[in-house]
Structure 1
Amino acid sequence: MTESKKDSNTLENLIIFWDILYENRERTFTRKELEEIMTEKTGIIFKRKKMTNLISTFMYLESNGINFEVKLVREKSDDGGSFLYNVKSKRAETTLDNERLFEPEEAIMLYNAVHTSKFIPQVDKDNLLNKIGDLLSNEANLSIEKFKKMVIPEFSVIQPAPVFNSLLTIYEAINEGKQLSFIHCQYDINKRLIPSRSNNDSMKKVNPYKVIVNRGHYYLYCTYPGSNHDRYFRIDRIKNVNKISTNIEVSPTEHIKDKVIDRQVYMFGGDVKLIRFRCEKDGNKMIGQLIDFFGTDRKLVIRELDSTHIEVEVNASIENMRYWLLQYITVIDHIRPKELEELIIGDLKNAIKRNEEIQ
């Protein structure tokens, strides 16, 4: 290290200094300690004048409205001969002003949402949880510590980092109104994600509209250029996601998109229709299954027909309901519309035929 570096970019030094303070919130430094850390981090020799100027610049910017999320408080040392620099978290101050910013139960819900997330890489998860901790009162943080000892996160079957990075690119493209390109993939016999087709058909270009969370997975809701047909891609099954310069095409059906998304059981798409079927109560177990999938709002209608049967109406696409109904076909009949009934009967006949041929 030499003094020849001393005129290095002031903004760069300020950013490094800010990062040091943010990573050391609620800690007290001497000026000498700050000089040593800055010298180590930058390779530039920081002496008294250079360090004092950097501290003064940071404190001036912070006091004039720049939100660094931390502030530096200069205090006299106990011996009165030097200054100490106390790093304060602005979030912590906000929490002290309002100790009940989150109730303990709310804090646990917030923590749990991040802690059990399938798509956030562990390093980003830890960073987010630390920031959440800064927002919480002591009581709420104690509740979280107890919660951590009682809960085992759900096993994640996907590698989260590619999903997290893809989401960042997708959100950016949606916000800027730009198209996306990516490679659509599927798993092979060796459990590896490979392009779904060997030719260029695996490379997709789409108009992205929304990200949807469904059954613990993230989906991109989009259309192909020149088409109004809805498409859904699981984000953990796409690779090489890139924002491209072409603006998205606004679909004529934009005003019904939210309504269409809200009616999907699985993300197969298709036009929304009124689906009706009869179902055995099975000791009210089926009512619980229906509510788990469709919720309790007005899109699900349940009528009691007799002591053992109910009639169900729901607005959804035939493609979605076909696979949902097959799961419970042993207690379901009188399926309408006729088109859906015929598809399910055909599926059952084909299944019986295949299994009989094996025997």
Structure 2
Amino acid sequence: MKLKGEYRPLAFPFSMIYLEKCEVRGAYTMAKSENQKVKTLFVAKYFLENSDENHPITAGDIVDYLREECGIEVERRAIYRDIAALRDVFKMDIDGVRGGKYRLLSRQFEFDDLRLLAECVHAAKFISASKAKELVKTISEFCSIYQAEELQKEVFLCDRVKTTRNNILLTVGIIYSAMATKQDGKPHTPQKITFKYLKYALQNKREQVERRKGATYKVSPYKLLINDGNYYLLAFDDRYQEIRRYRVDRMKEVKAIDEPREGAKVFAELDMESYTRRVFSMFGGKQKRVSIRFINQLLDTAIERFGTSPDVFYRQDDEKHFVVTADVEVSDQFFAWVCGFRKRAAIINPPDVVESMKKFLEDIETRYQDDEN
């Protein structure tokens, strides 16, 4: 996102701090003389709300707005002086066009940047639909009312189930506060947190229930990350004395407690890049060095999954196949991922992982055999 001009342009929320009370005629109680003092800001507000490169306005439009909405009587020539001041002093990118019309060509944020932000908000699984609308409405304050209409059109998301919980961002804030090394400008010792962890039950698929019969989890939080649209917490688990992963939208009653964080040495030894790459869909298993044979057409898929870091090795196997060797966490989820390629991919090394894959397939075959067999 780029800023325009030598100075930061006047932003819509900035003008709203001063001018929000003039939305309804008569609600703004400032005396007329005091209104006149901030007239230029009212003009800026009108530009920010009602003009963009596709929607020009006139000095007459501004005169009507000041009279009807803000109780300010003004002549057009005063508006021309205000526009000149907004250009010269505040560096607002106002362009004059034929017919005495003006356009605000650019502002603090490019519209494409705001649209990208809005789409990211809609795409995030951890943000509920109602919260997403609220956040996009906030983002819309940085563009014109016409552009805001475009931003607030919901993006169509394929196969995307969003959380129904509305307090995710509050939970994230509590976790960040607990992990902070400074608070209010003073040193802060990172704290442990406690929470209840949720899961779905067949009895009521709309409401999640507490795991471990409502037992309280106590962990030392270290890192928040996003995977496939979901927020996860990496934390040192007091009970198991290891780094574990937790879905933030499944955590409730999150509280920071007056106990210093543990597990710093274990977390410091964690290579985040390789760790997140080898943990498929956030399901863990025993780490192994594995070689997989793919058809050539799956090279893009393999690179997107394993990356191109020095510890990942690619080689041509024959004219139609290549082999990738990488560290993965071997689990049923990993085997299922390989199965998804059917005959186009196969684990070829090490032998024990190959045998585990065969056993995985045999178990599946057994599950689908007729009862008499």
State the TM-score, normalized to the length of structure 1.
Answer: 0.65
Corresponding residue number in structure 2 for 1:252: 265
Closer/same/farther in 2, CA of residues 181 and 339 from structure 1, 3 Å limit: farther
Corresponding residue number in structure 2 for 1:347: 360
Corresponding residue number in structure 2 for 1:242: 255
1:336 pairs, out of 349, 355, 368, with 349
Q: CA deviation at 1:209?
A: 0.9
Corresponding residue number in structure 2 for 1:215: 228
Q: CA deviation at 1:110?
A: 1.9
CA distance in 1, matches of 2:277, 2:166: 28
Give the secondary-structure state (helix, strand or coil) at the position aligned to 1:253: helix
1:277 pairs, out of 285, 288, 292, with 292
Matched, 1:311 2:311: no
**Is 2:118–2:139's contact at 8 Å kept on the other side of the alignment?**
yes
2:161 pairs, out of 144, 156, 180, with 156
Counterpart amino acid of residue 184 in structure 1: Y
Q: CA deviation at 1:79?
A: 8.2
For residues 1-359 of structure 1, the aligned pairs below 5 Å read: 22=17, 25=20, 27=22, 33-34=27-28, 77-78=72-73, 96=92, 99=106, 101-122=108-129, 124-136=131-143, 145-146=149-150, 151-154=155-158, 155-175=160-180, 177-189=190-202, 190-191=204-205, 192-198=207-213, 202-225=215-238, 228-257=241-270, 258-259=272-273, 260-270=275-285, 272-281=287-296, 284=297, 286-295=298-307, 300-319=312-331, 321-358=334-371
Give the secondary-structure state (helix, strand or coil) at the position aligned to 1:330: helix
Give the secondary-structure state (helix, strand or coil) at the position aligned to 1:197: helix
Counterpart amino acid of residue 317 in structure 1: E
Counterpart amino acid of residue 115 in structure 1: H
Q: CA deviation at 1:272?
A: 4.4
Closer/same/farther in 2, CA of residues 250 and 229 from structure 1, 3 Å limit: closer
Give the secondary-structure state (helix, strand or coil) at the position aligned to 2:280: coil
Closer/same/farther in 2, CA of residues 165 and 79 from structure 1, 3 Å limit: closer
CA distance in 1, matches of 2:108, 2:269: 37
Closer/same/farther in 2, CA of residues 341 and 329 from structure 1, 3 Å limit: farther
Counterpart amino acid of residue 287 in structure 1: L
Q: CA deviation at 1:34?
A: 4.2
State the TM-score, normalized to the length of structure 2.
Answer: 0.63
**Is 2:199–2:250's contact at 8 Å kept on the other side of the alignment?**
yes
Give the RMSD, CA atoms, in angstroms: 4.1
Q: CA deviation at 1:205?
A: 0.8
CA distance in 2, matches of 1:230, 1:157: 26
**Is 1:173–1:208's contact at 8 Å kept on the other side of the alignment?**
yes
CA distance in 1, matches of 2:311, 2:238: 31
- Indicate the percent of aligned positions where both proteins have the same amino acid: 22
Counterpart amino acid of residue 255 in structure 1: A
Q: CA deviation at 1:311?
A: 0.5
Q: CA deviation at 1:148?
A: 5.7
Give the secondary-structure state (helix, strand or coil) at the position aligned to 1:128: helix
Q: Unaligned regions of 5+ residues in structure 1, if any? A: 1-17, 36-50, 60-74, 81-92
Closer/same/farther in 2, CA of residues 108 and 291 from structure 1, 3 Å limit: farther
